[in-house]
Amino acid sequence: MEPLNIKGDDISPDIVLNHYENIFSISGESRPENPLKYYERVFSWFNDYFNYFYVLNDMRDSDIVVTKKLKIDLDYFNSTSAKVLFDLFTLLVNTGAKKFRINFEIDWYYHADDLDMLDAGKEMEALCGITFNYITKD
């Protein structure tokens, strides 16, 4: 299974999903014209990753629970991207944690003066039931 690296631009985030280096990151701005299409490979990658990790580590008869971190460092995201992020976090909970015992925590980065971004993270955390760690950035 190959890592996923999507180079962003002014309106689309950089995405790095690299299980070899344990890096899972979405950063930049997220306001692409079609967020569903832009994030489509991310959903596909995570579904493949869950199966790959589960089989590779022979977790069928295991009670082991693995925890990973997804870094979300967005300066801005629009409402359509918010829905896609919500769907991604829901996938991480419903498929990753419940089916494959791979728990993801979200490292949610925000500027200290951007309380809207902090509130957006708290709202998503409450709705998705996934653990968020809030990290202030300079």
Checking if the pLDDT of 97 tops 90, the result is no
The model's pTM is 0.93
Average pLDDT of the residues in 70-86: 97
Q: Which of 36, 125, 47 is nearest to 84 (CA)?
A: 36
Write b or e for each residue in 38-50: b if 16 or more Cβ atoms lie within 10 A of its Cβ, otherwise e. bbeebeebbeebb
Checking if the pLDDT of 62 tops 90, the result is no
Structure confidence at residue 53 (pLDDT): 82
Checking if the pLDDT of 4 tops 80, the result is yes
The identity of residue 39, as a single letter, is Y
What are the Cα distances from residue 127, in Å, to 23, 74, 85, 121, 123? 25, 19, 12, 10, 6
Tokens 């997220």 locate to 30
**Contacting residues for 90 by C-beta, under 8 A, at least 6 apart:** 128
Structure confidence at residue 60 (pLDDT): 67
23-30 and 14-18: which strand pairing?
Answer: antiparallel
Structure confidence at residue 61 (pLDDT): 66
Q: Which range, 45-59, 62-76, 78-92, 97-111, has the best average confidence (pLDDT)?
A: 78-92
Checking if the pLDDT of 58 tops 80, the result is no
